[in-house]
A and B are shown apart, each in its own frame.
Chain A
Amino acid sequence: MISNELPDDLIQLIELLLEGSLDEAGHRELEFQLRHNPQWVPHVRQHLMISGLLEGAASEDSDFVGKTSSHVVKLAMEEEYEFVGRVTRTIMRRRLTYAILAAAAVFLIGLIPLFLNSPQESAKPSHLVATLTRMNERGEVISTTHIRAGMHVEAVDGLQRLDFKNRAVVAVEAPMSMRVVSEDEVILEKGRLNAWCPDTAHGFQVRTSSAVVTDLGTSFGVNISHDGREEFVVLDGMVQVEKGEEKVKLSEGGALESSLENPLKSVVFEPSDFRKTWPLSYGILATRGAVVPADPDIPAKVMQMESNDNVLVIPEKRQVPFTRAILAEINGPGTLPGEFGGGLYVIGPNPEKKLRSFLIRYNPVGTVSEENFLRFEGEVTFDRPVLAICAQLEALEQTDGAFATGSWDERYRGIELQQTFNPPDSVTLSADRRTVKVIFYAGASSDEVRVILEGN
């Protein structure tokens, strides 16, 4: 199909198109030439295919089959069956997991000879630096894509999450435009992002048109507003912001404004703009019902947050070494009270793993009268499986030392499994261990559970 009959100027236009350098006039010229010479269109088609193949698109992505099947079935079930789908999803997930695992295993086994036969090729740098997950406003995954160094990412709506190879996590709210330079650097052209960088990603950089922010062990946000103003906020840890000769170290609770025309300027710390991206960067994929993520702020303030209307999901410490046993009332799928009776399970340590935790807590402003119990029901879905849930005082206090970001002076902690005027509070961990559902009957005291997840 491909021949060398194409004129030189068309060849130049095709190449510039493929490398992303074709200007507006070039686009028009290319269209004009092809419209008047339709016999050349199939040649262009072949070049697009071969070029895409060389770029790694449509390649042996072992995840594609599993992800696509899972994604398609999930979307179809949710939209067509709605309520019934929620009930049956547990069964479907289990079946689907088996199907995906089987398909993935067959696929991977098929790839083994490829690697064995061509060790030199397999040693080449993959240039895949991150996985992009696109989500809609409801927190549902729309798609996942592998991102190579140099790729441009754009979106007009929804949330995007980039999981980098070095384990940095970047959540971006659309409308957004960003170039992924490498696994250590992105250029934000438009949008609002939150980055979280573990030890393995320290030094991660976000460039804007006027400045560079470098992670020094932290969670930070960058916002480029519609009028081009750039703002940097630090929610945890520290960053360095650099603009020309200026270098400023910014600690948690600090904020800077930057523009091309003016020097860096300290501004009031106002993290509420990051209400959507901050939870996502922490691994909260979606919340429903009365359960909502806490508003973004520094850890000491987040853990003290109160709300009369909602049960808050509050991030605690990340990257906690799993060197001590954990006591918990829930250690697998099921409901407390129900499959779990309230007894404590011991989960043995595994020093190779790190953990993170969240509090799911109803903590009203002031106190509510004992006669005025309120019912709260909702759920939260995390980006990884839950290891254990601590639901009562002993387990909560036993894990405070490792996970809490502040101290407690509450007498009543955890949930009530026996109440005089109401059914018991309950906590349910889904079959895939990612969704935690709570029903709290809240009165004079706060209700809370600690959800512990594997951090790596």
Chain B
Amino acid sequence: MPDLKHFTQVVSEHHSSLRFFILGLGVNPAWVDDVAQDAFLIAYRKWDEFETVENPGAWLRAIARNVVLNETAKINRRQRLLNENLTGLLLEADPEELSADEQMDVAARRTALRTCLKSLTDKARNVVEMRYYHDKKSHEIGELFSMKPAAVRKMLFHARQSLATCLKEKLAEAR
């Protein structure tokens, strides 16, 4: 078993990118931390392997991938997934390596996101804030801003695209 300080240090170093990775497998955001904890528990029990792996992040992601794969097989626990078949497709398409922005440190990612939100148009930012900070559905946002729900959804989609591009740029600047 690992030294406790060492284990805490490993959790500290990898939890951000691991939780971000789990999000990308279609796990319900409310359950991401649970799945990450399951993955760290397995990692703790397989610590002998950890000592020999070259890329701890990839090793932890492989464990998390199996945890999520198991979720798709357990009928009672599929609530952790947005759609178990979609998760199956995401697992099949899962890249071996995370991109640089996906490995970004948690604080850096949040800071970059705040900056990137400011780069959106006022309207797009308002829509994003209503959706994510005020828990409004697209039809409710549509009523607020006199937009059709489908237009709200399209705006949200493109806003996220802009944010993703911006996050990559911020990472490049930081390097």
Chain A residues within 8 Å of B, Cβ to Cβ: 1-4, 6, 8, 11-12, 14-19, 21-22, 27, 30-31, 34-35, 38, 41-42, 44-61, 64-69, 71-73, 75-76, 80, 92, 95-96, 99-100, 102-103, 106-107, 110-111, 114, 117-118, 121, 124-125, 127, 134, 142-154, 156
Q: Is B147 an interface residue (CB 8 A)?
A: no
Beyond A54-B113, A68-B40, whether A31 also contacts B23 by CB under 8 A is no
Q: How distant is the Cα of A148 from the Cα of B33 in the complex, in angstroms?
A: 14
Interface bin, chain B = 35 or more
User: Which residues from chain A contact B167 at a C-beta distance below 8 Å?
Assistant: 50
Whole-angstrom distance from the CB of B57 to the nearest CB of chain A? 14
- Bound together, the chains give a CA A95 to CA B135 distance in angstroms of 41
Pairwise interchain contact A60-B79, C-beta atoms closer than 8 A: no
Apart from A54-B113, A69-B4, list 16 A-B contacts with CB within 8 A.
A1-B99, A16-B138, A44-B86, A45-B25, A53-B20, A53-B23, A57-B33, A76-B44, A95-B4, A99-B5, A102-B8, A103-B9, A107-B12, A147-B30, A150-B135, A156-B77
- Find out whether the CB atom of B110 lies under 8 angstroms from the CB atom of A60: yes
Residues of B with C-beta under 8 A to A64: 11, 15, 19, 33, 36
Contact A145 B33 (CB under 8 A): yes
The complex places the Cα of A51 from the Cα of B163 at a distance, in Å, of 10
Q: Is the interface of A mostly helix, strand, loop or mixed?
A: helix
Chain B interface main SS type = helix
A15-B156, A54-B132 known; A145-B31 Cβ under 8 A: yes
Chain A residue nearest in CB terms to B1: A76
Q: Are B160 and A59 in touch, CB under 8 angstroms?
A: no
Check A14 against B157 for contact (C-beta < 8 Å).
yes
What are 18 contact pairs spanning A and B, CB under 8 A?
Answer: A3-B161, A15-B154, A17-B82, A38-B92, A47-B157, A50-B167, A51-B132, A55-B29, A57-B33, A68-B36, A69-B8, A103-B9, A124-B133, A127-B133, A127-B135, A152-B30, A154-B79, A156-B76
Q: Is the CB of A44 within 8 A of B90?
A: yes
Whether a CB of chain A sits under 8 angstroms from the CB of B164 is: yes
In this complex, the member of A69, A80, A154 whose beta carbon has the largest number of chain B beta carbons within 10 angstroms is A69
Given contacts A46-B24, A54-B132, contact A65 B163 (CB under 8 A): no
Binary CB contact string for chain B from 140 to 175 against chain A (1 if under 8 A, 0 otherwise): 000000000010011011101101110100000000
The 7 nearest A-B residue pairs measured at CB? A58-B19, A52-B23, A15-B153, A57-B29, A150-B135, A41-B93, A54-B132
Distance from A19 Cβ to chain B, minimum over Cβ atoms (Å):
5
Q: In the docked arrangement, what's the CA distance between A18 and B161, Å?
A: 15
Return the CB mask of B12-52 against A: 1 if under 8 Å, else 0. 10011001101111100111111011001100110000000
Contact, CB under 8 Å: B8 / A103: yes
Q: List the B side residues contacting A51 at CB < 8 Å.
A: 23, 29, 132, 160
Report chain B residues within 8 Å CB of A134: 34
